[in-house]
Structure 1
Amino acid sequence: MPVIFLLFAVIMSACGDKTATDTASSPSASAGASASVSNTGTATYESELGPVEVPAHPQRIVALTNAPNVLSLGGTLVGVDEWTNKNPLFKDKLNGVEVVSEDKLEKILEVDPDLIIADAGSKNIDKLKEIAPTVAYTWGKRDYLAQQIEIGKLLNKEKEAQAWVDDFKQRAQAIGQEIKAKIGKNATVSVFETDSKNFYVFGKAWARGTEILYQAMGLNMPEKVKADALGPGYYTLSPEMLSDYAGDYLVLSRSSEGDNSFMQTETWKKIPAVKNGHVIEIDTEASTYSDPTTLEYLLNIFKEGFLK
């Protein structure tokens, strides 16, 4: 499996984008995580690993996961994972922020965090707790919107997070209705990605805008995609299989720096959606999260791409 997919577990822990209706996803929007603010400048956050005493208003956050969610709420980062650091959407927001990892604890010590956000599967959770209060999240436990609200609770900004969620759902649904009116209520959409060696088709909770298209907008997924990608989240394809999984419209996630010669092949050109000019391209590097910044970016692309 290509390196990009070996990195998915790390990347997607930041996305928190499993859906509550997938059998394979089976998240639980959570029974009760919250933060109770005390008069000492701290708050008790009821995390999935138990209560954690955290700063009521953290000022030096190390986010090994969920960094985009933190940035969307104006959280102050002093350390971030390398994949968020490489994302073009966050470049300007991460000036001066150190790239850190759980495997180099001395680097985390150097930035002197007052809060650490980590993956619940981290092998160094106990060591991270010795450095600063550490809150861990399990990828897929909450859907992409519930995860944003959860970060809001942690940062004492739940109202802001909830307000964005409510507004985004309303706007995305309205745009979805416009799109259905234009392309037809039965039209199907597939989300493909290539890493220059393999192709992948995605279900409805694997970033790349899948949450917007299939959940928020309610657009249709081809039956073959439902059968093979909905449960596991994605499905690997050979070039010869692309037509079988292609919807009436395609969203193509690709890197501008990768080998895109496949787009000149007859195999690609013969796909009906390609022949009809029904392809919307997105930048892979900017599309692998499901936080508000990424979702707003992709929502605008989809609005223009489908309604132009």
Structure 2
Amino acid sequence: MKKWLTSIMMSLVLLLSACGNASVPTENAAGGNAAKQEATTEAKPEAEAKPETITYQSENGPIEVPASPKRIVGLTNAPNVLALGGTLVGVDEWTKKNPLFADKVKDVETVSDETMEKILALQPDLIIAGSWMKNLDKLKEIAPTVVYTWGKLDYLAQQREIGKLLNKEQEAQAWIDDFTKRAQAAGEEIKAKIGKDKTVSVFEHDAKDFYVFGNNWARGTEILYQAMGLAMPERVKKDALGPGYYMLSLEVIPEYAGDYIVLSQRKGGENAFLNSETWKKIPAVKNNHVIVIDTEASTYSDPITLEYLLNIFKEGFLGKQ
């Protein structure tokens, strides 16, 4: 009897031991692995979550800004923001009435550095302002405010900086590289057609005054002189290259006129001077070498404006493309 009980107990021990060492069934192992994989997958997005803010190195020092701003107030450089697909909730009046941006900003509020309550009500998560503007300290209390000094950066560097600010530097740089290449090619083609020594002047007029521009005062000057490398009349170099523009009287316009003229004028504006003998006797006018551009669509140097003007210049100098 005792031997029989001993035999039974040893059998039970062996059976339990075998069960304890048995492999986990395949489907359970798969389920366990799947559960682990699912847990890992669920944890992965959290580990790779994009940062909510980035540190932007502004001209006034580092500033923490949203990594993906959703409500931008552009008191300046709004067109640069639009070119990168940024979402604007407030823009300056000049951008608002610019025909190139009318559709893009038709539902956007018009604001200024003096409309603090309106800007506050827009609940911006980023504000872009000019160093010359008022109430900068108050703006900084509303949202992170990045300040730019007009003219401190050239037109390409400015777009790159807006790209950095919006966390879209690669996009900005890709456009810069592509545009520079296309504008240079167009410049070479133009010089081959008209002659590399032929000069170009950029004039603008309003009801009372006349202006000639240097190489960095919008109106396509950056494209013509910097990107395309077209020549500037010596008198323009002397008086307008440094300050950016120079005011003229009608009588001296011929002294600043190049072989070709780009004339910036407002639609519906006063054009009586076009019938004056002084204007008609300018060689570029007599040779029909005048390219007219819309002032209101040409006062910025952002990608949208530059692409628009590049097409106008290619057609004006080279004919239909």
The TM-score normalised by the length of structure 1 is: 0.87
Tell me which residue corresponds to 2:156: 145
For these two proteins, the number of residue pairs brought into alignment is 271
Tell me which residue corresponds to 1:94: 105
Structure ID, larger Rg:
2
Tell me which residue corresponds to 1:83: 94
Tell me which residue corresponds to 1:169: 180
Q: Contact 2:72–2:127 (CA<8 Å) still a contact in 1?
A: yes
Deviations 1:108-133 (A, max 9, x none): 01111000000122231110010001
Tell me which residue corresponds to 1:119: 130
SS of the equivalent of 2:104 reads helix
Which whole-Å CA distance do the structure 2 matches of 1:102 and 1:206 have between them?
Answer: 23
Which whole-Å CA distance do the structure 2 matches of 1:123 and 1:287 have between them?
Answer: 26
Q: How does 1:2-151 map to 2 (within 5 A)?
A: 40-151=51-162
Which of 265, 269, 276 pairs up with 1:258?
269
Which whole-Å CA distance do the structure 1 matches of 2:93 and 2:223 have between them?
Answer: 25
Q: Contact 2:73–2:119 (CA<8 Å) still a contact in 1?
A: yes
SS of the equivalent of 1:88 reads coil
Tell me which residue corresponds to 2:190: 179
Tell me which residue corresponds to 1:6: none
SS of the equivalent of 2:101 reads helix
Which whole-Å CA distance do the structure 2 matches of 1:160 and 1:39 have between them?
Answer: 18
Which of 232, 244, 257 pairs up with 1:246?
257
Q: Contact 2:53–2:65 (CA<8 Å) still a contact in 1?
A: yes
Question: Which stretches of structure 1, 4 residues or longer, exceed 2 Å deviation after superposition?
Answer: none
Which of 269, 272, 281 pairs up with 2:292?
281
Deviations 1:258-293 (A, max 9, x none): 111111111110100000000000000000000000
Which whole-Å CA distance do the structure 2 matches of 1:254 and 1:109 have between them?
Answer: 36
Which of 222, 226, 232 pairs up with 1:221?
232
Which sections of structure 1, spanning at least 5 residues, go unmatched? 1-37
The TM-score normalised by the length of structure 2 is: 0.83
Which whole-Å CA distance do the structure 1 matches of 2:253 and 2:295 have between them?
Answer: 18
Which of 212, 231, 249 pairs up with 1:201?
212
Deviations 1:194-236 (A, max 9, x none): 0121110000000000000000000000000000000010010
Which whole-Å CA distance do the structure 1 matches of 2:243 and 2:102 have between them?
Answer: 31
Higher helix share: 2
Which whole-Å CA distance do the structure 2 matches of 1:123 and 1:98 have between them?
Answer: 19
SS of the equivalent of 2:182 reads helix
Which whole-Å CA distance do the structure 1 matches of 2:203 and 2:128 have between them?
Answer: 31
Give, as a single letter, the amino acid of the residue that structure 2 aligns with 1:51: P
Deviations 1:156-186 (A, max 9, x none): 0000000000000000000000000010010
Identity within the alignment, %? 75
Which whole-Å CA distance do the structure 2 matches of 1:71 and 1:257 have between them?
Answer: 27
Higher relative contact order (CA closer than 8 Å, sequence separation 6+): 1
SS of the equivalent of 1:118 reads strand
Which sections of structure 2, spanning at least 5 residues, go unmatched? 1-48
Which whole-Å CA distance do the structure 2 matches of 1:205 and 1:183 have between them?
Answer: 23
Give, as a single letter, the amino acid of the residue that structure 2 aligns with 1:130: E
Tell me which residue corresponds to 1:295: 306
Which whole-Å CA distance do the structure 1 matches of 2:206 and 2:197 have between them?
Answer: 30
SS of the equivalent of 1:180 reads helix
Tell me which residue corresponds to 1:22: none
Give, as a single letter, the amino acid of the residue that structure 2 aligns with 1:129: K
Which whole-Å CA distance do the structure 2 matches of 1:178 and 1:39 have between them?
Answer: 45
Which of 156, 171, 174 pairs up with 1:160?
171
Deviations 1:225-253 (A, max 9, x none): 00000001001010001100000000000
Pairwise CA RMSD: 0.9
Which whole-Å CA distance do the structure 2 matches of 1:162 and 1:275 have between them?
Answer: 42
SS of the equivalent of 2:56 reads strand
Which whole-Å CA distance do the structure 2 matches of 1:55 and 1:306 have between them?
Answer: 44
Which whole-Å CA distance do the structure 1 matches of 2:159 and 2:129 have between them?
Answer: 15
